[in-house]
């Protein structure tokens, strides 16, 4: 068995960043920029007022000073002239500050009589002028190494970029295997259960910016598995779920080998997720996940998402980890790296007692996977541990 780190290295080696496509800004959230983009203009493009008030020369600012209002500058309708000594221009938030002015006095700090304003005794320091290019300059580049956030989209819009180059969404074919499985909503026989893993994985993949294709359930026969492998052609990656272990009906390895799988590894020193396999069939990366529902989802976080991120052009990295303190002691770990379902509370990480890899109800309660290194001794309450956030 190889370590998780080694296995992840192999998985990341199986994939490469995909090509780019152009999308409109309204479709850009959650996508990954394929190349840096550059601002089309300065923002703000002119010195802009930050307040409603009067644009003045700071040399003219003194308590009780009287100034003459010579015009107005509104957002979208600037004052065309320039102001000289003793002048003021009625100015609104977002409006260009007229030439000659270097300060805005807020309207609460003046008394106006006709076209004359008198500055009050106490005046806000100001200057309430945002110089041109305060936010960014024309030509400033933007290349975040993450899926575009709502804030990023707002920034791209203000850079005057109606379309942006993004990496094509990786398409991942998800193949559930097993005679015991029926689709949600179908009437299961007495020995059957509902296929859940591929649905969870689809949600995980699509939340991270991929596209998942749910394939028909493959039955525990060589011919059925072969047929579903054929149907999966064209995907950027094929992920099978179940049939990965050593039982007589675990046929994924056999069929994949027949299809010419160049296997990178089989079996990883992790818990859950031991009978994981990965390789390439005809150039297409293939990952075989174990069937236990929690094993499949944990492997989704630990292997599929890093591979997906690499296909999206993001750095080849393991699942992000954070550190927190344990809210209660935990026992010694065994020889496999253990991803323990836990909840982050104000008192620290509460590791659940029930860690069986079939328990989706426990996984749904968890928002963290506490990572226990192989042979990690028992840990006291308050010990610092690493965890993989599940909602990230």
Ligand X SMILES: Nc1nc2c(c(=O)[nH]1)N[C@H]1C(S)=C(S)[C@@H](COP(=O)(O)OP(=O)(O)OC[C@H]3O[C@@H](n4cnc5c(N)ncnc54)[C@H](O)[C@@H]3O)O[C@H]1N2
Binding site for ligand MOO (CB under 6 A): 271-274, 290, 292, 295, 357
184 binds, among ligand MOO, ligand X, none (CB under 5 to 8 A by kind): none
Q: Which two tokens stand for residue 313?
A: 């052009």
Other C-beta atoms closer than 10 Å to the C-beta of 368 total 25
Degrees, nearest 5: CA angle 207-32-149: 65
Residue 67, classed as helix, strand or coil, is strand
Does position 196 interact with ligand X (CB under 6 A)? The reply is yes
Residues in the chain: 392
241 binds, among ligand X, ligand MOO, none (CB under 5 to 8 A by kind): ligand X
Residue pair 82/71 in contact (Cβ under 8 Å)? The answer is: no
Q: DSSP label at 356?
A: -
Q: Which two tokens stand for residue 263?
A: 């296997």
Task: Count Cβ neighbours within 10 Å for each residue of 232-253 and write b for 16 or more, e otherwise.
Answer: beebbbbbbbbbbeeeeebbbb
Residue pair 81/71 in contact (Cβ under 8 Å)? The answer is: yes
363 binds, among ligand MOO, ligand X, none (CB under 5 to 8 A by kind): none
Question: Site for ligand X (CB under 6 A): which residue of 117, 195, 208, 314?
Answer: 195
Closest to ligand MOO by CB, 229 vs 339, is 339
Question: Site for ligand X (CB under 6 A): which residue of 49, 73, 284, 292?
Answer: 292
Question: Site for ligand X (CB under 6 A): which residue of 241, 261, 304, 340?
Answer: 241
Closest to ligand MOO by CB, 73 vs 295, is 295
The distance of closest approach from Cβ of residue 336 to ligand MOO in the complex, given in angstroms and rounded to an integer, is: 8
Does position 325 interact with ligand X (CB under 6 A)? The reply is no
Closest to ligand X by CB, 62 vs 246, is 246
Footprint of ligand X (CB under 6 A): 176, 178, 180-181, 193, 195-198, 241-247, 250, 272, 274-275, 290-293, 295, 357
């Amino acid at each position: 068995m190889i370590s998780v780190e080694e296995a992840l290295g192999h998985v990341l080696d199986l994939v490469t960043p995909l090509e780019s496509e152009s999308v409109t800004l309204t479709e850009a959230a959650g996508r990954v920029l394929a190349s840096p983009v550059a601002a089309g203009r300065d923002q703000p493009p002119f010195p802009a007022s930050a307040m409603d008030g009067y644009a003045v020369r700071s040399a003219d600012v003194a308590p009780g000073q009287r100034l003459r209002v010579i015009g107005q500058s509104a957002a979208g309708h600037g004052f065309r002239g320039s102001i000289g000594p003793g002048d003021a221009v009625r100015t609104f938030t977002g409006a260009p500050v007229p030439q000659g002015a270097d300060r805005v006095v807020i309207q609460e700090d003046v008394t106006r009589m006709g076209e004359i304003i008198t500055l009050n005794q106490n005046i806000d320091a100001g200057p309430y002028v945002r110089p041109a290019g305060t936010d960014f300059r024309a030509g400033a580049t933007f290349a975040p190494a993450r899926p575009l956030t709502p804030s990023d989209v707002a920034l791209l819009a203000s850079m005057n970029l109606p379309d942006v180059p993004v990496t094509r969404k990786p398409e991942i074919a998800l193949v559930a295997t097993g005679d015991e499985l029926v689709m949600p909503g179908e009437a299961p026989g007495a020995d059957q259960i509902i296929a859940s893993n591929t649905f969870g994985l689809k949600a995980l993949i699509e939340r991270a910016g991929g596209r998942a294709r749910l394939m028909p359930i493959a039955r525990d026969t060589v011919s059925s598995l072969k047929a579903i492998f054929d149907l999966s052609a064209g995907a950027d990656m094929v992920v099978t779920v179940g049939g990965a272990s050593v039982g007589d009906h675990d046929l994924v390895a056999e069929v994949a080998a027949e299809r010419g799988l160049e296997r990178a590894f089989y079996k990883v020193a992790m818990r859950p997720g031991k009978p994981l396999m990965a390789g390439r069939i005809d150039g297409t990366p293939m990952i075989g996940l174990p069937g236990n529902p929690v094993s499949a989802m944990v492997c989704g976080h630990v292997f599929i998402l890093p591979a997906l991120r690499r296909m999206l052009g993001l750095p080849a990295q393991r699942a992000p980890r954070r550190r927190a303190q344990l809210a209660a002691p935990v026992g010694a770990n065994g020889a496999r790296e253990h991803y323990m379902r836990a909840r982050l509370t104000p008192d620290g990480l509460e590791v659940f007692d029930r860690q069986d890899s079939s328990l989706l109800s426990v996984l749904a309660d968890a928002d963290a996977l506490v990572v226990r290194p192989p042979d990690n001794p028992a840990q006291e309450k308050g010990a610092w541990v690493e965890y993989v956030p599940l909602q990230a």
